[in-house]
Structure 1
Amino acid sequence: MPIEDIKLKFAQNLKNIMQKRNKTQSDLVKDLSFRQATVSDWLNGKKYPRMDKVEKLANYLGVSINELLMQSVPESPVPALQLTDQEKSMIKKYRQLNADGKSRVDYVLNMEFDLVNNSAEKEEQNLG
């Protein structure tokens, strides 16, 4: 496939995914520290991002790298979760972390979740 077709397909996939995730070009620029002109060139099919940028986009948009690069993006249902502003902020921060940072956050969340569940189980045992 010619490089021009690849650029256009990437642009189409990126636009579709951004629309499904309610993300704008400005969101990408602000949240990922990309240059406005660069994002514009990607969305217009003029340029193609380096793989590190593709990975950053995929993480930010909550999709696989393949979904950004594939010939046809499969229709996957977007979860109908209603997130609070605080939850949205936390997700944005989480997506900015590297693998080690995400691992540490996951560990803390799992520990807190286990602590809460263990407390509830102990309370049930004391009542029963």
Structure 2
Amino acid sequence: MGRTVSYSVVKRNNPLDQDAVPKFYAQAQANGHVEIREMADRIQKTCTVTRADVMAVLVALEDVIMEALEGGEIVRLADLGTFQIGLSGRGAETEDTYDVSMIRKARINFRPGIALSGILAALKYTKVDKLPMKTKEEQKPA
């Protein structure tokens, strides 16, 4: 597996200053995606567990993570990373005037662990042309 990330250069406006001159920034370009069945197939090739057993564990892991997050728990997956619910909304002048209706939305925060963070330092970058946007039809799984 390569440690090269493809990127294209895109023009972006400054969201804090609409009058500012746009600047150009690197944007990572995906080189495909890996579905859960492909991950299970790759995992079975590195150990004595069958693809069906790996699939069962991965599906159960997904269920357990969702259940834990819904229960307000932080989910730590060793060196892979940590999942936690975060909230955003409006502020109140005092604690007593804060009301649950001020919460706008919940989100899932992910903080990479040592294993994921460690791969970033060794990455190399290759410039590619900006990839065209896929139509909704092209985005549908095969």
TM-score, normalised to structure 1's length? 0.23
Higher strand share: 2
Higher helix share: 1
